[in-house]
Amino acid sequence: MPAACNFIDAAHRFPLLSRLLRTSRLTPLQLRQSHACMLKTGLHLLPFPVSKLLAAASSLAEPAYARSIFDCIASPCLLRHTAVLRSLSSSPGARSVADAIALFRSLHASPGLALNQFVFIPTLKVLAQGLRLQLGRQLHALALKLGFLLYVNVRNALIHLYCRCGRVSDDGLHLFDEMPLRNDRVISLGKDQLSPLTLMAILFLLPPIALPATFDVINYGAIGDGKTDDSQAFLRAWAAVCKDASATPSVLNIGFKTFLINAVLNFMGPCKPSSITVQITGVIVAPGDLRAWRGNNENWLIFSSVNGLTLAGTGIIDGKGQAWWDKCRSGCILGPAQVLMNGCNNLVVKGLKLVNSQRSHLAITNCNDVLLSQLTITSPGDSPNTDGIDVSNSRRIRIEWSTIATGDDCIAINRGTYQINITGIACGPGHGISIGSLGKDKSSSEEVTDVIVRQCNFTRTTNGARIKTWQGGVGFASRIIFEDINFISTRNPIIIDQTYYDMPYGYYKNVLGAVKVTGVTYQRMHGTSPDPVAVTLTCSPLAPCSGIVMKEVMIRRDDGGATSSSCSNALGSIGKECEPKVNCLTTTS
């Protein structure tokens, strides 16, 4: 019978194939008989029956047999990879662990196949059985980068891994603390590794299980055709969410459509639910015509005084900024910030794509305890004033595992910001990660302290690790660490500029005073720059930079040549293996 035969006809001739169609529950003998029937009829060349066969092998915990079927497939798809991984996860043993690792690596390296959450779950289960903690942590990092920690089953699988590997008290509980919804299923994963006292404490803190109240913007009049203004429908839906007292948490759903928001929208709090999740899987677009703004050009989407807020999903927020950029190039009327978070504590923004902002893409101000993760923020490299993330007057901020490519700072850390950790940012094009500018408002002190920037990549940015303060400013920037940074053709990889100004040259020349810069460490920073000067420390004679530490800094020219350094009024120390040598830094004992 030819490979393209009618599957139904074959099922009539071979009852076992009919059973395989209806269910994956076969005995080992029936599995092999079904496979023989498929080989005889040519059905082993068709995708659907092979997938059913793999599912049957997985349910029987026959990993070797499932792998033999898989290896004979000319073009294995994601579904078949997952089926084999499930089979391996059902059959513990060193061979299963090795096979699962090899299969996952081959899948990850396949250019035509994209990982999904269903691949992670059985792979993590296999690693848990083999107590492979380090590999599990690598998958944890990859899941975080790809946004799969939004799925509760992936988190559960990771917690299970950490529990099996004896890490429930730190890694497992850390994941648990970040979960928006907690239940007894998650608690039970680590019950055998926790002391009775710790378990009782966690159970005491565990809130009652409650299904979230869900509000959909479509039910409040949103059209979602990309042409009709859905602003009022969004506000009606928000009012319902914010006033809801029937369940905690609450969810506002913005689904798989394109919603035009033709006006400034202020989602105001405080709200009754202790937490609100805005789930965005669709597209939110701004008007492209400047006349639609009617002079309201300070902010576009505003969330004010909403504690326990989460913005998450795979959706897109598109600012349609081209008209604003064109206007700025001929007179510079600044456009609105795309998304502003003002006075929102315990804030999470995850997984979203923010594109083509009119000005800043995401502004955080007066917020405490913030997590920004797995974001993609993009605008053309020549788009003016399009900062990726602006932070000001906020404390305890984490920004991690995001891609930012804009026409201005990837991240700008402004006045009044304390305890900010930035990890795993891919920055470029753009102006780098900047502390400041500080000191423009000379009537008050502008301060930033306790900053850590680590594991970031800068690609063809105009600056790398940057600190900029205005001439004549008041305040300080202190306790700052840049570490484990990679530069790819980055201009000004390391730069402190205490004489910053964006006025005509000489406007602030010879002014008195400067923002104090102290306690800045640069360590394990490597890469290339098109500039001959890789380290620039331009500090004020009125307030010299102090406590500058350079360790394991290795930056060469793009063509492989050596780089140099330039310093003025900079005091500190130089560790081993620094290139350039930074001999211009005045060393202190």
Kindly report the CATH number assigned to the domain that includes residue 238.
Answer: 2.160.20.10
Instruction: Decide: 434 and 413 in contact? Cβ < 8 Å.
Output: yes
Q: Which of 44, 81, 140, 431 is catalytic?
A: 431
Domain boundary among 170, 205, 240: 205
pLDDT of residue 184: 45
162 and 63 inside one domain: yes
What pLDDT is attached to residue 95? Answer: 62
d(CA 46, CA 75): 11
Contacts of 385 (CB under 8 A, 6+ apart): 328, 334, 335, 359, 360, 407, 408
CB 425 within 8 A of CB 447: no
pLDDT of residue 250: 87
Lowest mean pLDDT among 53-62, 95-104, 139-148, 308-317: 53-62
Mean pLDDT of the 60-81 span: 58
The mean pLDDT value for 557-577 works out to 93
Whether the pLDDT of residue 209 is over 70: the answer is: no
Amino acid at 370: V
Structure-model confidence comparison of residues 510 and 220, the more confident one? 220
User: Are residues 439 and 342 part of one domain?
Assistant: no
Mean pLDDT of 151-176: 72
User: HEC profile for 393-414?
Assistant: CCEEEEEEEEEEECCCCCEEEC
Q: Are 550 and 578 in contact (CB under 8 A)?
A: yes
Cα distances from 110 to residues 36, 75, 76, 100, 555, in angstroms, run 30, 11, 10, 15, 33
Q: Tell me the average pLDDT of the chain.
A: 81
* Helices (H) then strands (E): counts for the chain: 15, 32
Q: Does the residue 168 lie in any domain?
A: yes
Q: Is the pLDDT of residue 132 over 70?
A: yes
pLDDT score of 404 more than 90: yes
Residue 261 covered by a domain: yes
The answer to whether the pTM exceeds 0.85 is: no
Per the CB < 8 A criterion, the answer to whether 563 and 534 are in contact is yes
Of the candidates 176, 205, 234, which is a domain's last residue? 205
If pLDDT is split at 50, 70 and 90, which confidence band does 186 have?
very low
What Å distances lie between residue 266 and 43, 282, 306, 353, 509, CA to CA? 59, 19, 11, 20, 41
Instruction: State which residues form the domain around 39.
Output: 7-205
Q: Which of 386, 335, 336, 344 is nearest to 364 (CA)?
A: 344
Beta carbons within 8 Å of 127's beta carbon, 6+ residues apart: 97, 100, 101, 135, 136, 139, 161
Residue 177 belongs to a domain = yes
Residues 136 and 253 in one domain: no
Q: Which of 34-48, 83-97, 184-198, 457-471 has the lowest mean pLDDT?
A: 184-198
Same structural domain, 157 and 237: no
Which residues lie closer than 8 Å to 387 by C-beta, 6 or more apart? 359, 360, 361, 406, 408, 409, 410, 411, 412
Give the per-residue pLDDT at 165. Answer: 78
Average pLDDT in the 432-448 region?
89
Same domain, 113 and 239: no
Is 392 inside any structural domain?
Answer: no
Contacts 24+ apart (CB under 8 A), 584-587: 584/537, 585/537, 585/548, 585/550
User: How wide is the angle at C-alpha 230 spanned by C-alphas 226 and 235, nearest 5°?
Assistant: 150
In degrees and rounded to multiples of 5, residue 528 shows phi and psi of -130, 160
pLDDT of 362 over the 50 cut: yes
| pLDDT computed for residue 509 by the predictor | 54
Nearest to 399 by CA among 428, 429, 430, 364: 364
Q: Are residues 488 and 432 in the same domain?
A: yes
Residue where a domain terminates, one of 155, 177, 205? 205
Total length of the chain: 589
| More reliable by pLDDT, 340 or 168 | 340
Rounded to whole angstroms, the maximal C-alpha distance in the chain is 95
Residue 20 confidence (pLDDT) above 60: no
Q: Is the pLDDT of residue 18 over 60?
A: no
Does residue 1 sit within a domain? no
* Residue 108: active-site member: no
**Beta pairing partners, 413:** 391, 435
Q: Are residues 220 and 329 in the same domain?
A: yes
586 with 459, same domain: the answer is yes
Is the pLDDT higher at 55 or at 125?
A: 125
- Residue 404 within any structural domain of the chain: no
309-350 pLDDT, tens digit per residue, is: 999 998 999 999 998 888 776 555 678 899 999 999 999 999
Distance CA 500, CA 4 (A): 72
Would you tell me how many other CB atoms lie within 10 Å of the CB of residue 232?
A: 14
**114/184 same-domain check:** yes
Q: Are 188 and 239 part of one and the same domain?
A: no
On whether residue 393 sits in a domain, the answer given is: no
What would the DSSP string read from start to end of 253-307? Answer: EE-SSEEE--S-EEEE---SSS-EEEEE-SEEE--SSGGGGTT--SEEEEEES-T
Residue appearing with tokens 């350039």: 580
> What DSSP character marks residue 361?
S
Nearest to 298 by CA among 359, 341, 377: 359
- Angle at the Cα of 564 from the Cα atoms of 562 and 567, rounded to 5 degrees: 170
Examine the pLDDT at 107 and tell me if it is beyond 90. no
Q: Is residue 7 scored above 50 in pLDDT?
A: no
Same domain, 234 and 120: no
Least confident of 183-197, 386-400, 459-473, 474-488: 183-197
The count of domains in the chain is 3
445 domain-assigned:
yes
pLDDT at 441 over 90: no
Please tell me whether residues 232 and 368 are part of one structural domain: yes
Burial of 505 (0-12, 13-18, 19+ CB in 10 A): exposed
Residues 6+ apart with CB under 8 A from 562: 556, 579, 580
Query: Could you give the residue ranges of the DSSP H alpha helices within 461-574?
Result: none
